[in-house]
């Protein structure tokens, strides 16, 4: 995420201003309350967008704990491993909008 932001200086000022505003809530030791994390919207969006584009998490696997039937009738038995290939999801226009390969936090 740091390299993505470093290569896109047009976002740095906006992120910097957000951090200045959030840090107004710090105590006398410079420590932020945990609730301050919720106010870092631009930083959160930038990190998530970087993760989406870089695609370090390629696959997400789940172990099925009990038999499951989807609404379309597809059945998944207990003790089965179901995997989702995330790269397709990250680059799908119907899920990510018209420019799924662009960095748009």
User: pLDDT, tens digit, for every residue of 24-51?
Assistant: 999 999 999 999 999 999 999 998 888 8
User: For residue 59, what pLDDT is reported?
Assistant: 79
Q: Is 5 left (phi over 0), alpha (psi -120 to 50) or beta?
A: alpha
Q: Is the pLDDT of residue 8 over 90?
A: no
Q: Model-level pTM greater than 0.85?
A: no
Find all residues with CB under 8 Å of 43, minimum gap 6, and list them.
15, 18, 19
With beta carbons less than 8 A apart as the criterion, state whether 40 and 51 touch.
no
Q: Residue 101: its pLDDT value, please?
A: 82
Cα–Cα dist 56/50, whole Å: 10
């Amino acid at each position: 995420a740091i390299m993505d932001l470093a290569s896109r200086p047009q976002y740095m000022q906006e992120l910097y201003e957000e951090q200045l505003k959030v840090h107004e809530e710090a105590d006398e030791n410079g420590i932020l309350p945990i609730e301050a994390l919720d106010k870092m919207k631009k930083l959160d969006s930038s990190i998530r967008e970087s993760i989406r584009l870089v695609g370090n998490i390629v696959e997400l696997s789940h172990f099925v704990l009990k038999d499951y039937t989807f609404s379309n009738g597809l059945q998944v038995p207990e003790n089965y491993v179901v995997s989702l290939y995330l790269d397709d999801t990250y680059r799908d226009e119907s899920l990510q909008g018209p420019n799924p390969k662009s960095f748009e936090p």
